[in-house]
């Protein structure tokens, strides 16, 4: 729980941002440009109001608010970055009708004062660069697949087909270059190199998969329990029941990190084939009549348990510890 600091609601835009300060005896609003001089002006405005420290809160808006969040964090303020879906639900609960930048900043300030969201910590530079490289790699791979699909068009003339093939070749070269940069980046940072080496000891996880997992987990120390990590990935079971008439099947909420689930999915497919322990675990579920999606979801969850244990203990994967006999049945079964 963060200290009871004055709440500062921030509504971000590409070029500007609006703020609303909720202090004990006053409430004030102001408008600034989304540039370093604008950040300095915000700092001076707060000091002029006699406020030395605030709990600043903003919605996650891509990269628009990154620089301001870092500025406030390094200035000694508490910063929270919240899911826009939470803010939309809060607006409905408050009966809000008007939606302007100034009103949004006020709403965010009241949300911050009432809910006291978790404090944000900047992503380490090594992880941030890892995320940039992985995003670039995914973009290039998507473009290459799009060009490959275009070649299936039988109406293409020879010159257009050649142009697409040359573009594909160029994209393939760029993909390999980014992969080399990714490998070099991991090798240069011990905070990435060591955990990557640990994760690669798990069948089904190679360097690229390990990099994707680390980019989404960021820091295993943020999670006190494996349940928190499972919730972060969005594969925690959610139950729907009420009274005696509503008895819905358990399902995964998918409210966590979609890219983490995507990385786990591919790892689960490979591990189900190449890891005897995981393969036996999946086979036991199939024999009990579980659908393929349920089995694969359970494997993803089991892999995440293993990832958590490996990174926490800083020990390589040991199947005898991961699957001590009857422990195979310990993984909850949820519908995909």
Which token pair is 110?
């009241």
Total residues belonging to the chain:
336
pLDDT (average), residues 136-156 = 96
Residue 57 pairs in a beta bridge with 9, 80
b/e code 95-124 from CB counts within 10 Å (16+ = b): eeeeeebebbbbbbbbbbbeebbeebeebe
Percent of the chain with pLDDT over 70: 90
pLDDT (average), residues 307-335 = 72
178 closest CA partner among 146, 131, 127 = 131
Q: Is the pLDDT of residue 62 over 90?
A: no
* Per-residue model confidence as pLDDT tens digits over 172-181: 999 999 999 9
Q: Is the pLDDT of residue 82 over 70?
A: yes
- DSSP H/E element including 33: strand 27-33
Assign residue 285 a region (left: φ > 0; alpha: ψ between -120 and 50; beta: otherwise). Answer: alpha
Sequence-ordered alpha helix ranges (H) in the chain: 36-48, 66-74, 84-93, 101-115, 125-150, 158-188, 190-200, 207-217, 226-233, 258-274, 276-287, 292-313, 319-322
Instruction: State the pLDDT at residue 329.
Output: 42
- Mean predicted lDDT score pLDDT of the chain: 89
Instruction: State the pLDDT at residue 26.
Output: 79
* Per-residue model confidence as pLDDT tens digits over 231-278: 899 887 766 666 666 555 666 666 778 899 999 999 999 999 888 889
pLDDT (average), residues 288-311 = 92
Q: Is the pLDDT of residue 327 over 50?
A: no
pLDDT (average), residues 305-328 = 83
Q: CB of 72 within 8 A of CB of 79?
A: yes
pLDDT tier at 14 (50, 70, 90 boundaries)?
very high
Q: Is the pLDDT of residue 166 over 80?
A: yes
Cα gap 4→295, rounded to integer Å: 46
CA quadruple 44, 45, 51, 56: dihedral sign: negative
Instruction: State the pLDDT at residue 114.
Output: 94
**SS3 for 78?**
strand
Instruction: State the pLDDT at residue 194.
Output: 96
276 closest CA partner among 229, 323, 314, 312 = 323
């Amino acid at each position: 729980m963060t200290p009871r600091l004055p709440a500062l609601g921030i509504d971000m835009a590409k070029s500007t941002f609006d703020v609303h300060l909720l202090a004990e005896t006053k409430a004030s609003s102001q408008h600034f440009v989304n540039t370093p001089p604008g950040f300095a002006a915000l700092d001076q405005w707060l000091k002029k109001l006699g406020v030395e420290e605030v709990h600043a809160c903003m919605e996650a808006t891509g990269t628009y608010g990154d620089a301001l969040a870092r500025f406030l964090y390094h200035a000694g303020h508490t910063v929270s970055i919240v899911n826009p879906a939470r803010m939309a639900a809060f607006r409905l609960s408050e009966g809000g009708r008007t939606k302007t930048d100034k009103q949004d900043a006020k709403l965010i300030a009241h949300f911050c004062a009432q809910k006291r969201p978790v404090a944000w910590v900047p992503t380490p530079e090594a992880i941030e660069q890892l995320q940039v490289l992985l995003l670039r790699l995914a973009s290039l791979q998507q473009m290459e697949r799009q060009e490959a699909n275009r070649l299936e068009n039988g109406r293409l003339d020879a010159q257009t087909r050649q142009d697409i093939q040359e573009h594909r070749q160029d994209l393939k070269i760029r993909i390999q270059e980014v992969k080399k940069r990714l490998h070099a980046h991991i090798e240069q940072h011990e905070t990435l190199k060591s955990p990557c080496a640990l994760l690669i000891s798990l069948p089904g996880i190679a360097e690229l998969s390990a990099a994707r997992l680390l980019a989404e987990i960021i820091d295993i120390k943020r999670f006190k329990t494996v349940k928190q990590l499972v919730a972060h990935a969005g594969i925690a079971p959610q139950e729907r029941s009420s009274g005696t008439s509503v008895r819905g099947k358990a399902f995964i909420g998918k409210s966590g990190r979609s890219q983490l689930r995507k990385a786990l999915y591919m790892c689960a497919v490979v591990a189900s084939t190449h890891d005897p322990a995981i393969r036996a675990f999946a086979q036991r579920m199939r024999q009990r009549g579980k659908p393929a999606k349920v089995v694969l979801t359970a494997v993803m969850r089991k892999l995440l348990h293993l990832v958590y244990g490996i990174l926490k203990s800083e020990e390589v994967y040991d199947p005898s510890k991961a699957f001590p006999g009857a422990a195979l049945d310990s993984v909850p079964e949820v519908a995909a």
